[in-house]
Chains A and B, each alone.
Chain A
Amino acid sequence: MGDPQQNINGKAIKQHTYEAIVIGSGISGGWAAKELCEKGLKTLLLERGRNVEHVRDYTTAMLPPWKFPHHLENSNKDRQENPIQSFAYNESNKHFFVSDKEHPYVQESPFHWIRGYQVGGRSLTWGRQCYRLSDLDFEANVKDGFGIDWPIRYNDIAPWYEYVEKFVGISGKAEGLPHLPDGFFLPPMEMNCVEEHFKAKVEQAIPDRRIIMGRTANLTRGWENRGPCQYRNLCNRGCPFGGYFSSNSATIPVAAATGNLTLRPFSIVLEILYDADKKKAKGVKIIDAETHQTYEYYADIIFLNASTIGSAQILLNSVSTAFPQGLGNSSGQVGHNLMDHHFRVGAKGVYDGFKDKYYKGRRPNGVYIPRFRNLDEATRRTDYVRGFGYQADGERETWPDTSKRLPGFGEEFKKQLTTPGNWTMWMGAWGETLPYYENKVTLDPAKKDKWGIPLASIHFRFGDNEKAMRKDMKSSAMEMLDVAGFKKVEGFDYDSVGGDCVHEMGTARMGHDPKTSVLNKWNQMHEVKNVFITDGSCMTSSACQNPSLTYMALTARACDYAVSELKKGNLT
């Protein structure tokens, strides 16, 4: 493979030199680019996939269902060619998911690695639920002994939560719960009548339960020249109204407007280059995804935001004499402690009432039931540690549900099919997964992708704690539906496979001790001070809250620290 930089001269080096490089343009990389550009740093944002420009490239956003040949169901071809991604995509958004064929990885045990290689990454298709962590989460590891202690506490991150919330725009309501701290909220969305009923009954019958409106990065009013949400519930096609937060709609345009951003799509990072004399990273080596040419870029600071598995893969592939096990990996922790929330367990029921009530609009959000287990002595469980929260949703059945339930055919069937059905409530639990050293990403010793990069090889299993928790996740959901007077209450446990939740975390964890962790309390590599990692890989524990808001807050905080250190001359 030709390297046009082999005989590189001073001028070319200069052209390839920036003040900062950000690897990955997803939800955390977009934030890093915005913060660094706004702080005046000439920043190169590297993205391995194609460009996706806000609005222009949302090609399916305005299409009605009949414009999709399979009416949004996947075909045999999809299931054969994309056995993993087709779990997560449909006809309307498959262009925001990778091709499994083109981007293989090794499953030592079943793990579904759902990915979107394009500018904006998975911020285009994320679930948008935003919840702060609290000291219940930051102190969990040190209190029960699973994993290492987080090097930060809630007070360290609280102002940064507020900082990012003020830009993102999160609709929600203050509830005064210490373990699910309030934030800066735009007006909350509305509960429907069955959710209001459920809230009143459950909170009355079981005093430790709270049913709150979901907190979501969908705008309930115009914000930062975006939105508001139009209640189409087609978010993951990309929103032409800018109704929800993504790198494409929010952070990248702001970064670009500073004049400091250079965005380079089709740039697959092979490795971070290490300067053993200066004990710093000097830049990155990339391969152009289209031409297969390699290039080097240099910068004072590097933010690695290539996703939990992607970032681990890059670190492990960045081998030098100083770091034979991968960049900044003397601890041997890089790639280990992989976590994903476990879910696909809960209950559903039917409510016989409110026949004269309905709603207008499609709310891209539901209600939330914050964690209520293992908060204190009174809620202590003997069968598992940590806890879970529920996302729930009340609605009247429409044809996809009624058609399966209604027998027969003909005029009467059609009449019932086209009439609003029963009120139903669906509750799904999202549970904390403990950090297990054995759950890990490594590089396959033999297999490589078409760019010659060793494949990520994933070993992942949920443990006994998660299994015990799932029983409670199901039975507590059934209990709540029962006390709220629902009928035909059915529990379910579809047995989630690792990765299904797309909340991968933990492969370059933060910690106090360089012997047992990769990053310090500033998301800075213990061993390579000018490399910062602020995607999911930094997470020391998983908590049970949807994690993206925490990545965003940690990113903004790390950028602030990095630039102040740079100005003090501590990073060069």
Chain B
Amino acid sequence: MERKKFIKRFLALGGGAIAVVSGVKVYQVFKSPDLSFLKNAQPLIDELAEMIIPSTDTPGAKEAGAGEFVSFMVRESCSQATQNRFIDGLRDLAAYSILEYKKPYQKCSLSEKRAILSHFEKKSFFYKGIVAKAEHKLLGDPFFITLKKYTVLGYCSSELGATRAFNYDPVPHEYMNTLLEPGQKAWATQ
């Protein structure tokens, strides 16, 4: 009950200010999240993850399963507010591409897709200090931050990512100073 009261107070008083600067629809982040939407949106999430970490001479996020990991972690490890902002972000992104480019995101060209994702990255910068803390705790993380965070975690700790894009050394036997060879990849684990 106390928590509910607090949220009501927050909405009535202090919350307004934070909500305005953050550009977040406050009334939406406390609703019960529509997690089933994630399943339908999986192809889109896979594509967005692949935009973050594309296939190059090493596998990309999609092949490494990072898109599925993003949805899994949104369901398993995010606050309700972050879940809502992620799901709303996916919807906003779909709507934005129709408005701006008159076609669904999947039909957009690579440069259009880049521009769309950049737009959402710009919208998601973190405030510093107390506002950031309050924002994180009450309003959750912005859509792009969640997408990027779990794409990175999903990719870098995947078998394909760790062993192909990084140096994975399960049993190093020793610790020693070395020279960095030209083109040497970073270690996969710390």
Interface residues of A (CB under 8 A from B): 62, 64-66, 68-77, 189-190, 192-193, 230-233, 355-363, 395-396, 398-400, 403, 407-411, 413-415, 417-421
* Distance in Å: Cβ of B45 to nearest Cβ of chain A: 14
Considering the complex, give the chain A residue whose CB is closest to the CB of B160. A66
For B79, what are the chain A residues with a Cβ–Cβ distance below 8 Å? 76
Q: Is the CB of B172 within 8 A of A360?
A: yes
* Distance in Å: Cβ of A194 to nearest Cβ of chain B: 10
Q: Is the CB of A193 within 8 A of B175?
A: no
**Does B187 belong to the interface (CB within 8 Å)?**
yes
**Does B12 belong to the interface (CB within 8 Å)?**
no
* Distance in Å: Cβ of B185 to nearest Cβ of chain A: 5
For A192, what are the chain B residues with a Cβ–Cβ distance below 8 Å? 177
Q: Is the CB of B52 within 8 A of A409?
A: yes
For B53, what are the chain A residues with a Cβ–Cβ distance below 8 Å? 409, 413-414, 417
* Distance in Å: Cβ of A96 to nearest Cβ of chain B: 20
The CA of A231 and the CA of B190, in the complex, are separated in Å by: 10
For B173, what are the chain A residues with a Cβ–Cβ distance below 8 Å? 230-231, 361
**Does B56 belong to the interface (CB within 8 Å)?**
yes
Q: Is the CB of B189 within 8 A of A362?
A: yes
* Distance in Å: Cβ of B117 to nearest Cβ of chain A: 6
Question: Can you add 16 more A-B contacts, CB < 8 Å, to A71-B157, A362-B172, A407-B121?
Answer: A64-B170, A70-B72, A76-B77, A77-B76, A231-B172, A359-B176, A360-B169, A360-B176, A362-B190, A398-B186, A400-B156, A408-B118, A408-B121, A411-B56, A418-B186, A421-B186
The CA of A190 and the CA of B177, in the complex, are separated in Å by: 8
Considering the complex, give the chain B residue whose CB is closest to the CB of A228. B173
Residue contacts A-B, CB under 8 angstroms, 15 given: A65-B188, A69-B72, A69-B76, A70-B73, A74-B77, A75-B76, A190-B176, A356-B180, A358-B179, A362-B175, A410-B54, A410-B114, A418-B165, A418-B166, A420-B184
Using a Cβ–Cβ cut-off of 8 Å, how many residues does chain B contribute to the interface with A? 49
For A190, what are the chain B residues with a Cβ–Cβ distance below 8 Å? 175-177
Q: Is the CB of B56 within 8 A of A409?
A: no
When A and B form their complex, what is the total count of cross-chain residue pairs whose Cβ atoms lie within 8 Å? 140
For B154, what are the chain A residues with a Cβ–Cβ distance below 8 Å? 71
> Given the interface contacts A190-B177, A411-B56, A419-B186, does A232 sit within 8 Å of B121 by beta carbon?
no
Q: Is the CB of B185 within 8 A of A360?
A: no
For A64, what are the chain B residues with a Cβ–Cβ distance below 8 Å? 159, 162, 168, 170
Q: Is the CB of B162 within 8 A of A66?
A: yes
Q: Is the CB of B180 within 8 A of A420?
A: yes
| Partner pick for B175 among A71, A231, A399, CB 8 A cutoff | A231
| Partner pick for B121 among A73, A189, A400, A409, CB 8 A cutoff | A409
Q: Is the CB of B77 within 8 A of A65?
A: no
Q: Is the CB of A399 within 8 A of B174?
A: no
Which of B20-28, B130-138, B145-153 lines the interface with chain A?
A: B145-153
The CA of A71 and the CA of B157, in the complex, are separated in Å by: 6
Considering the complex, give the chain A residue whose CB is closest to the CB of B170. A64
| Partner pick for B178 among A358, A362, A399, CB 8 A cutoff | A358
**Does B18 belong to the interface (CB within 8 Å)?**
no
Q: Is the CB of A65 within 8 A of B54?
A: no
| Partner pick for A399 among B72, B78, B156, B177, CB 8 A cutoff | B156
* Distance in Å: Cβ of A186 to nearest Cβ of chain B: 14
The CA of A284 and the CA of B72, in the complex, are separated in Å by: 49
Q: Is the CB of B54 within 8 A of A414?
A: yes
7 residue pairs, one from A and one from B, having the closest CB atoms? A361-B175, A361-B172, A65-B157, A71-B157, A363-B175, A358-B180, A403-B152
Q: Is the CB of B156 within 8 A of A233?
A: no
For A399, what are the chain B residues with a Cβ–Cβ distance below 8 Å? 152, 156, 166, 186
For B176, what are the chain A residues with a Cβ–Cβ distance below 8 Å? 190, 359-361
The CA of A68 and the CA of B154, in the complex, are separated in Å by: 11
For A71, what are the chain B residues with a Cβ–Cβ distance below 8 Å? 69, 153-154, 157
